[in-house]
Amino acid sequence: MSIFTGAGVAIVTPMKENKEVDYDKLGMLIEEQIAGSTDAIIICGTTGESSTLTNEEHLSCIQYCVQKVAGRIPVIAGTGSNCTESAVFLSQEAEKAGVDAVLLVTPYYNKATQNGLIAHFTTIANSISVPVILYNVPSRTGCNILPETAVTLAKSVENIVAIKEASGNISQVAKLMQLADGCIDLYSGNDDQIVPILSLGGKGVISVLSNVAPKQTHDIVDKFLNGDVKGSCELQLKAIPLCDALFCEVNPIPVKAALNLQGKGVGTPKLPLTEMEAAHQEVLAQAMKDFGVL
């Protein structure tokens, strides 16, 4: 049984001018996502600025999200860290808060070996009972989960059940699915590769695009899984310019700018991330208009 099938939003963390978390805005975004057919909420991931939230903010956001969603769709908490002990703590606290699963990014900066990754993820997973989604995003972490490593983890640790693949390497993903033979669920971590990942047996996407286009992102997956591959592909290709604009600066700078263009008032990211450059904002606004979300 998959944690979810479809499009899960990697939701932003709205900030006030003083950079405190704006929980009222977060609640508004959650309600809009659910109304827009989003299939899961991923709280405190990369897009949620997990790396610059304090532990108190991190856990408070998770608790708030679980309470606000109230079981309507799955809540998945980003609880990864480059420190195994920290990830264990966050994961255990997230489980206490009532999340449906945790998302564990590879240890950044440390650049663990494959044996180190196995030890790291096994230690965290064994400290909790909720399902674990591995998160492979080597462009941000400098660390790649090889297909053999992901399969070893899925086969040897009962609650490691899925992987968010954002390597961008479709050949690697194909190798993973060939080796896995059904032992691990696959989610796209790149909005411009939803259809390719689905074609390899993926269950859906953990999406930045969903923040500004929840229904369209849901529909890309839904159409594909219900046999309308042509319609899914057309919508995927139509979204490419917006996907490009949402990553023309480091995530979540553009997506926060996009939400602000939509009038959501989510603030700007915490330093060291800054406000989006004006020239890029013009490109983003045009892409949003072309996709029908502005």
User: Which residues are known catalytic residues?
Assistant: 135, 164
Report the candidate in 39, 19, 32, 20 with the shortest Cα–Cα distance to residue 263: 32
Residues paired with 23 in a beta bridge: none
Task: Give the list of residues 6+ apart from residue 182 with CB closer than 8 angstroms, or none.
Answer: none
Going from the C-alpha of 163 to that of each of 22, 41, 153, 230, 273, the distances in angstroms are 30, 16, 11, 26, 27
DSSP states of the chain: --S--EEEEE----B-TTS-B-HHHHHHHHHHHHHTT--EEEESSTTTTGGGS-HHHHHHHHHHHHHHHTTSS-EEEE---SSHHHHHHHHHHHHHHT-SEEEEEPPTTT---HHHHHHHHHHHHHT--S-EEEEE-HHHHS----HHHHHHHHHHSTTEEEEEE-S--HHHHHHHHHHHTTSSEEEES-GGGHHHHHHTT--EEEESGGGT-HHHHHHHHHHHHTT-HHHHHHHHHHHHHHHHHTTSSSTTHHHHHHHHHTT-----PPTTS-PPPHHHHHHHHHHHHHHT--
